[in-house]
Chains A and B, each alone.
Chain A
Amino acid sequence: MRTIRFLFILVCWGAAGLVAVACGDDDADAPTLVVITHGSFDMSSELIEQFEREHDVSVDIRKGGDANEVVNRALLNAGNPEGDVLYGVDNLTLARTAGAGLFEAYDSARRDAIPSEIWAEVGDSQEVTPIDYGYVALNFDREAGTPPERLEDLVTPAWRGTLVVEDPATSSPGLQFLATTVAHFGETGAYTWRDYWRELRANDVLVVDGWDVAYNTHFSRNGGERPLVVSYTTSPAAEVFFSEGELDEPPTANVVPGGLKLFRQVEAAGVLRGAREPELARSFIDFLLTDEVQRQIPETMFVYPVIPGTETPDWWRWAEVDVEPAPLYVDATTVNRWVREWTDIMRR
């Protein structure tokens, strides 16, 4: 009979849990704004608290995996979202959200402060607002000797097993890097980007799901075994910042060979359709464009603030690279085809 009692208690627990759910929301006095974002999002708690005070709201930041994973998940929940704001959709992933009814239209009051070439890269979106941008590039650990001179070097025996990249299906820098190789090697001809990736695979390239794992686990600078990683042109500068005065020049270098096109990765935020707090969500997007937040973006996320003339910290000079960004706005069919073909080449 003890067992019966045990089961009874279990069932009661289940029932009690359900009742608690049904009558929940007892702390509903302050509304909660839920921000859905990727693992690399970071903002100082002072700034978040400032927003909370100004709008009498509590902010809940929910980080998924890498950006593409977050967007895939949001797409599945379009119309019945897990939060109010999505931050971190980029110009390539944005194409995949077209027509899915993921976002509500929003026209921020600070729209005009953002340069028109940035707007062009998100297709002059009526739904999302650009917040920051960066350039995806190969980073090289200087301790490993001389960096490669060309992308073509990476498929030679000398560079066997040295590179870690992110899966473009889950990671936005991974997708950007794929786009770079497509632009560099071309879609047609005797030697296409597909051939390049096939050779990279034969040369023991490591594919991981997200930037975090690639950079913080497998990059030799951070205790891993591979001296080359797909990251951002701003990462070497970030290394100086993180060394807290120990380093006065970056221990890593960008590999930006001449003739290589670098795309500008524009990160944007949008109000999710079906949000519980659409008004607060809109305020949050405006907040992301304020001077305080824009000034902090280099320090916490190591990307460029989207509003020109924003003051940047001193060590940010290490992030200055001489690139002429190539325009990048690709339709969803093309992006999906790249990812599909890449997966067939690399994951089969």
Chain B
Amino acid sequence: MNRVWTRRRTTWPWVLPALLLVGPFLAWPLGAMVWRAVTPDGAFALQPLGDVLGDRYYWERLAFTAGQAAASTAIALAVGIPAAYVFARLRFPLQGLLLALLTVPFVLPTLVVAIAFQRLAGPDGWLNELLEAAGLEPVRPLGTIWILLAAHVFYNVAVVIRLVSVVWRNLDPRTEEAARLLGAGPWSAFRAVTLPALTPAILSAAALVFTFTFTSFGVVLVLGAGNPDLDTLEVVVYRLATRLVELPAAALVSVIQVAASVAALTLYSVFQRGATRSLGLRGDHATRLRRAGGGQVLFALPVLILLIAFIVTPMAALVHGALTVGATDTVTLENFTTLFDDTGRQSFIPPLDAMRWSLTFAAGSAAIATVVGLASARVIAYSRGAVGAVADALLMLPLTVPAVVLGFGYLVTFNREPYDLRGSLWLVFAAHALVAYPFVLRSALSTLRALDPRVPEAARMLGASAWTVWWRVEFPILRRPLLAGALFAFAVSLGEFGATVLLQRQEFATLPIAIFDALGRPGEANLGHALALSTILMAVTAAAFLLIERLRYRDATGF
């Protein structure tokens, strides 16, 4: 009785940071947009909703969006699970670094990934050079579903590897060994013993990959090459909002998208609870990695080599493009040195300013995201039962809201005195913090859940105040996951594009904006600048990410 009471008392103030961010900067603008959509002439009407729901086109797009997300998820699982095995059960040199390398794509800005694949698979890209060398017909994957799937797998395979391998590593291998001793073959032992234990982690990874690919935007916009059959719901929303300026329809289609992603995320949340519980199975003796044996090497080597080739080639194609000019193969720094030269270039975004602004927004919004993410994680971790599950789903909402809609909602909501915030930096900070804090939340939550609740309780019993318990018991354990989450938020903000492109003013344009700007101008020089800026952005993000790697608790799940 007492326990419940103290929890309640200490939990509620932690709701505040999330409320202060989500209330004015998510609920209000989105609510206002939806409200305006269903009250076309000042009075409530179901007709606009009926128009959208009755339009077959939107349902077809929903079906396509879900279909491509399901296909991307299936492929990511097929590629990721064998790799998860290799990382969980074997020990080999540079293992940590390799895992970090494979995860770099996940934090890369969508725009950069799209450009990398465009370079790789374009008419004169490496892919076609390879095919030509092999005497095969050239392919034109741009504007087809294949390039989308490839980019989605590139992005998300690390999510599968990480979530699954962490649990796999902590499963007691003796159970499977026992099954083998009792006469089961390796495959049936895996199926009967290991797979059931891994199922929550696999499903959780699947739900997460599904959500990310379901809301795919930048990749589709660039690699879809204008093929309307590849439009995801988010692209449809973008078109409705920025081109046709049909806000009601845009708002209502966003609602459909959010509803669908919330369903997927709720599943994720449920499965993640399962995955975290299975951590309890582990014993220290069992988590030790083994040196690979002969058969395992035969399995592991091809898996690793193919995976690394798949992950590294697009990034290499991007860097190669940045280091060459035109169709030549001569390595030069020209694209980088001419970046700073603004003679005769009107509406020039100085790259150093763009970099400074990118870092400023990233640092500021990472700080906000850390506070909000931590506080929210505590709320979820310490509310039991349905309240926790609902709070979890609600607090993950920002991941599912189309960034374009967020930016748009701000512009049409904060547009009158005394709160005309258009052109203000604060909207960018708010948007970035919103899309970034769920990552801090996940990082902190998995550690909070793994924390034995008896430890803080014991501290309380011994007379420590709630504050002391937090400072002396919880914070020291949370410090590293929090830093990891903060850096994740930092990387997310660095790459944020959908909302920023609407909210930015040229005075504070960020790197992704400068890239998009250069990409939209004709000529070799502008393309070279876009590639050079993308390379810089990739390097900064990757550096932030490699730092995260050093901070992560090895036994924490989450991504």
Taking Cβ atoms with an 8 Å cutoff, the residues of A that contact B are 3-4, 6-7, 10-11, 13-15, 17-18, 21, 39, 41, 45, 60-63, 65, 69, 72, 75-77, 79-80, 82, 96, 167, 169-170, 206-208, 210, 212-213, 216-217, 336, 339-340, 343-344, 346-348
Say whether B244 contacts A17, CB under 8 Å: no
What's the Cα separation between A210 and B522 when bound, in Å?
Answer: 11
Say whether A17 contacts B356, CB under 8 Å: yes
What's the Cα separation between A18 and B425 when bound, in Å?
Answer: 9
- Given the known A-B contacts A14-B364, A45-B344, A216-B522, are A77 and B242 also in contact in the complex, defined by CB atoms under 8 Å? no
What's the Cα separation between A80 and B356 when bound, in Å?
Answer: 25
Say whether B423 contacts A82, CB under 8 Å: yes
What's the Cα separation between A127 and B490 when bound, in Å?
Answer: 44
Residue from B243, B244, B550 whose CB has the most chain A CB atoms within 10 Å: B243
Q: Which residue of A80, A170, A347 is within 8 Å of B423 (Cβ)?
A: A80
Q: Provide the residues of chain B in CB contact with A77, threshold 8 Å.
A: 411, 422-423
Q: Provide the residues of chain A in CB contact with B508, threshold 8 Å.
A: 21
Q: Provide the residues of chain B in CB contact with A65, threshold 8 Å.
A: 520
Say whether B551 contacts A3, CB under 8 Å: yes
Q: Say yes or no for B415: interface residue by CB 8 A criterion.
A: yes
- Given the known A-B contacts A3-B547, A7-B483, are A207 and B226 also in contact in the complex, defined by CB atoms under 8 Å? yes
Say whether B521 contacts A7, CB under 8 Å: no
- Given the known A-B contacts A10-B366, A17-B364, are A82 and B506 also in contact in the complex, defined by CB atoms under 8 Å? yes
Q: Provide the residues of chain B in CB contact with A75, threshold 8 Å.
A: 245
Contacting A at CB under 8 A, from B103-149, are none
Q: Provide the residues of chain B in CB contact with A343, threshold 8 Å.
A: 239, 243-244
Q: Provide the residues of chain B in CB contact with A79, threshold 8 Å.
A: 415, 420
Q: Which residue of A6, A206, A217 is within 8 Å of B547 (Cβ)?
A: A6
A341 CB, nearest partner CB in chain B, Å: 11
Pairs A–B under 8 Å by Cβ, sample size 17: A3-B480, A14-B363, A14-B364, A14-B366, A17-B357, A17-B360, A18-B364, A45-B344, A60-B347, A63-B347, A69-B242, A76-B411, A77-B411, A206-B226, A208-B226, A346-B228, A347-B239
In the complex, per-residue mask of B367-394: 1 if CB is within 8 Å of any chain A CB, else 0: 1000000000000000000000000000
Q: Provide the residues of chain B in CB contact with A206, threshold 8 Å.
A: 226
Q: Which residue of B346, B356, B423, B505 is within 8 Å of A63 (Cβ)?
A: B346
What's the Cα separation between A207 and B228 when bound, in Å?
Answer: 10
B507 CB, nearest partner CB in chain A, Å: 9
Q: Provide the residues of chain B in CB contact with A336, threshold 8 Å.
A: 244
Q: Say yes or no for B5: interface residue by CB 8 A criterion.
A: no
Contacting A at CB under 8 A, from B221-258, are 226, 228, 231, 239, 242-246
Q: Provide the residues of chain B in CB contact with A62, threshold 8 Å.
A: 346-347, 506
Nearest opposing residue in chain B for A340, CB measure: B244
B240 CB, nearest partner CB in chain A, Å: 9
Q: Provide the residues of chain B in CB contact with A10, threshold 8 Å.
A: 359, 362-363, 366, 490
Q: Say yes or no for B502: interface residue by CB 8 A criterion.
A: yes
Say whether B502 contacts A76, CB under 8 Å: yes
Q: Provide the residues of chain A in CB contact with B34, threshold 8 Å.
A: none
Q: Provide the residues of chain A in CB contact with B366, threshold 8 Å.
A: 10, 14
- Given the known A-B contacts A62-B347, A80-B420, are A18 and B360 also in contact in the complex, defined by CB atoms under 8 Å? yes
Residue from A7, A21, A63, A344 whose CB has the most chain B CB atoms within 10 Å: A7
What's the Cα separation between A217 and B550 when bound, in Å?
Answer: 46
Known A-B contacts: A17-B363, A21-B508, A77-B423. Give 17 more (CB < 8 A).
A3-B551, A7-B486, A14-B362, A17-B356, A17-B357, A17-B359, A61-B346, A61-B347, A62-B346, A65-B520, A76-B411, A82-B423, A169-B244, A343-B244, A344-B57, A347-B228, A348-B57
B166 CB, nearest partner CB in chain A, Å: 21
Say whether A170 contacts B411, CB under 8 Å: no
Q: Provide the residues of chain B in CB contact with A216, threshold 8 Å.
A: 522-523
Nearest opposing residue in chain A for B349, CB measure: A62
- Given the known A-B contacts A45-B344, A61-B346, are A170 and B243 also in contact in the complex, defined by CB atoms under 8 Å? yes
Say whether A21 contacts B425, CB under 8 Å: yes
Contacting A at CB under 8 A, from B319-348, are 344, 346-347
Q: Say yes or no for B98: interface residue by CB 8 A criterion.
A: no
Say whether A217 contacts B522, CB under 8 Å: yes
Q: Say yes or no for B412: interface residue by CB 8 A criterion.
A: yes
In the complex, per-residue mask of B507-524: 1 if CB is within 8 Å of any chain A CB, else 0: 010000000000011110
Say whether A72 contacts B239, CB under 8 Å: no
- Given the known A-B contacts A76-B502, A82-B506, are A11 and B547 also in contact in the complex, defined by CB atoms under 8 Å? no
What's the Cα separation between A6 and B363 when bound, in Å?
Answer: 11
Nearest opposing residue in chain A for B483, CB measure: A3
In the complex, per-residue mask of B481-507: 1 if CB is within 8 Å of any chain A CB, else 0: 001001000100000000000100110
Say whether B412 contacts A76, CB under 8 Å: yes
B388 CB, nearest partner CB in chain A, Å: 29
Contacting A at CB under 8 A, from B452-490, are 480, 483, 486, 490
A99 CB, nearest partner CB in chain B, Å: 13
A175 CB, nearest partner CB in chain B, Å: 11
B121 CB, nearest partner CB in chain A, Å: 18
Nearest opposing residue in chain B for A59, CB measure: B346
- Given the known A-B contacts A14-B364, A76-B412, A77-B422, are A213 and B522 also in contact in the complex, defined by CB atoms under 8 Å? yes
Q: Provide the residues of chain A in CB contact with B505, threshold 8 Å.
A: 82
A13 CB, nearest partner CB in chain B, Å: 5
Q: Provide the residues of chain B in CB contact with A213, threshold 8 Å.
A: 522
- Given the known A-B contacts A17-B356, A61-B346, are A72 and B245 also in contact in the complex, defined by CB atoms under 8 Å? yes
Say whether B521 contacts A212, CB under 8 Å: yes
Nearest opposing residue in chain B for A201, CB measure: B228
What's the Cα separation between A306 and B547 when bound, in Å?
Answer: 60
Q: Which residue of A4, A45, A61, A167 is within 8 Å of B243 (Cβ)?
A: A167
What's the Cα separation between A96 and B547 when bound, in Å?
Answer: 50
Nearest opposing residue in chain B for A76, CB measure: B411
Say whether A212 contacts B522, CB under 8 Å: yes
Q: Provide the residues of chain A in CB contact with B226, threshold 8 Å.
A: 206-208
Q: Provide the residues of chain B in CB contact with A96, threshold 8 Å.
A: 245
B56 CB, nearest partner CB in chain A, Å: 10
Say whether B243 contacts A72, CB under 8 Å: yes
Say whether A13 contacts B420, CB under 8 Å: no
